[in-house]
Chains A and B, each alone.
Chain A
């Protein structure tokens, strides 16, 4: 009997532990007299040490530009100074700081100590004990890029689909920043970020993106839009891909089994990476005699597929835009394996002193803003009857 009572007690203690953590006192935030706008998951709290911890998104409302690298757990705060915070400590403008931001990640959301933020960036704080509110009476002016030229490394699909020609003039109108797009494959675009030759990246190659984030090549990565890939081929469909019932892997098996020609981008682009991963997932090593690597852009690859009566994987946007020039038909679509997610990444300012990180952050913010997202959804509607890209940015915190 005694034994079971003690067991119950132990269980109770264990069950109560998470509750104790959750019971850290919730607090409120306000900036310039107005209550902070925060998502339900990202709520400020008073830590056990008595520090007011605020979600990173609150700092944007104080005029501080922020970046969050979830892979390395690094937050970057910019306003005149660059503060870099990890769980291990804080540096300001490259040297270790006496103001530790005490970065904590809870439920995937980064929190920092508002007292240290205020000290580093020269904000004053007030505490209202009756409402339990940290008040920031005066916010900082948001830092804007003085260098109005931005190098955007991106993929051929954003260029060839015409999306950039549509968005960039709007961005320039709003911010005065000229974004110079260098269109290469996603792999090459990410490499430009790694090398510090570009300021911001607009890419679609998740695995490579996460690798770059883990290496600290970028200070933020946000998924902003998607379109999808489709498997296209000749109308005669010699491999019978149509009967694979829109299952991408079955379609690949059919192409391989029937010895049909398959034209690959072969240029380490996002499309190429996805296609290669599908072959791997299907457990097939394509036969060199029927597997052609075009090593060129999407339309050229489609043209080669058409000429050789072969199959290929293409993004829907490029295909729709060139429908009048191609006799290829869609044979497989809608499989979740064929989703094509694009991200915007701000290159790490520590790469070299020419990185135009403020303009890069402005670009990233603009693309994720309501206006940017609406424009993405608008593009192509008047011409093709449906959008070529679907905006899907969801704030992570």
Chain B
């Protein structure tokens, strides 16, 4: 039992010191997941807002497809990205496997369907009232989508944050495509996994604490935005 207590005490020491190795891992995690979230959002939000505002046959097919992809386990995403980026894979010439770039690609692929699906549903439900208003003002398709994004930004922000927390907390995909190389591609989740298999629980616990803190901050932000959004909506 005492090793758990010892682990926690040492963990707090590590967090307070915030030394090079530890800071490096935390910052890399943030960088990878932040980059992936930005890339996925920049594409998914405008695209699926635009599509969601359009009324066409097969809308439910799009929804179902997005939902399927959304529930894809991260190890499958990791496997697919790994196969594509491998030296003999179709994108092998990029020489990305086992690099931070590959991890960003994997997380982008992982959260893209999540942001897409949520944006698409939002566009269908709330966006169309914005659209009717915009059309009475004579706006075109792209203009309408821009307007809808602006009007619904609080909701979209919550989605983006949800996607970020999914990205930063996943371990399977980044482990497979990053290789968990010390000092280069190790992030919080993969390091926890590694130190667990090395039996060095102190660093694992301290990273776990940071991850928990981060996700509670994220949830807190998301929650306060939701409040604000609801107020705005009513």
Residues of A within 8 A of B (CB): 151, 156, 159-160, 162, 165, 178, 180-183, 195-197, 296-300, 321-322, 324-325, 352, 354
Contacts and interface: CB of A to CB of B under 8 A. Distances in A.
Contacts of B198: 159-160, 162, 299, 321
A180 B181 CA distance: 6
A354 B3 contact: no
A299 B204 CA distance: 15
Most A Cβ at <10 Å: residue of B87, B88, B182, B185: B87
B98 A182 contact: yes
Contacts of A352: 87-88, 92
A197 B179 contact: no
A157 to B, nearest CB: 11
B20 interface: no
Given A182-B179, A300-B197, A322-B199, 10 more contacts: A159-B198, A162-B198, A165-B182, A182-B98, A297-B197, A299-B196, A299-B197, A321-B198, A321-B199, A352-B92
Contacts of B95: 354
B128 to A, nearest CB: 49
B197 A160 contact: yes
A156 to B, nearest CB: 7
A181 B181 contact: yes
Most B Cβ at <10 Å: residue of A195, A197, A321, A324: A197
Interface of B: 3, 86-88, 92, 95, 97-98, 179-182, 184-185, 194, 196-199
5 contacts: A162-B198, A298-B197, A299-B197, A300-B197, A322-B199
Contacts, number: 52
A165 B194 CA distance: 13
Main secondary structure, interface of A, reads mixed
A354 B87 contact: yes
A291 B86 CA distance: 36
Contacts of B194: 159
Contacts of B92: 352, 354
A159 B194 CA distance: 9
Contacts of B87: 195-197, 352, 354
A162 B197 CA distance: 11
Given A352-B87, A352-B88, A354-B92, A325 B181 contact: no
B199 A325 contact: yes
A196 B88 contact: yes
Contacts of A196: 87-88
Given A156-B197, A165-B182, A180 B98 contact: yes
A343 B196 CA distance: 27
Contacts of B86: 195, 197
Contacts of B196: 299-300
B181 to A, nearest CB: 5
B75 to A, nearest CB: 14
Contacts of B179: 180-182
Contacts of B97: 197
Nearest to A355: B87
Contacts of A160: 197-199
Nearest to B180: A183
B97 to A, nearest CB: 8
Nearest to B198: A160
Nearest to B185: A180
B197 A182 contact: no
Contacts of A325: 3, 199
A151 B88 contact: no
A324 B95 CA distance: 42
Nearest to B194: A159
A156 B198 CA distance: 9
A182 B181 contact: yes
B199 to A, nearest CB: 4
Contacts of A296: 197
B165 to A, nearest CB: 27
When A and B form their complex, which 5 residue pairs have the shortest distance between CB atoms, in order from nearest?
A297-B197, A322-B199, A182-B179, A180-B181, A354-B87
B88 A180 contact: no
Most B Cβ at <10 Å: residue of A182, A322, A352: A182
A193 to B, nearest CB: 12
Contacts of A195: 86-88
Contacts of A159: 194, 198
Nearest to A300: B197
Contacts of A297: 197
A162 B200 CA distance: 11
A156 B193 CA distance: 13
Contacts of A300: 196-197
Most A Cβ at <10 Å: residue of B92, B181, B196, B197: B197
A383 to B, nearest CB: 13
A156 B98 CA distance: 17
A298 B179 CA distance: 18
B88 to A, nearest CB: 6
Contacts of A321: 198-199
Contacts of B88: 195-197, 352
Given A196-B87, A325-B3, A151 B197 contact: no
A324 B6 CA distance: 13
Contacts of A165: 182
A36 B87 CA distance: 40
Nearest to A164: B182
Nearest to A179: B181
Contacts of B184: 178, 180
Contacts of B199: 160, 299, 321-322, 325
Nearest to A162: B198
Most B Cβ at <10 Å: residue of A180, A183, A195, A352: A180
A195 B83 CA distance: 12
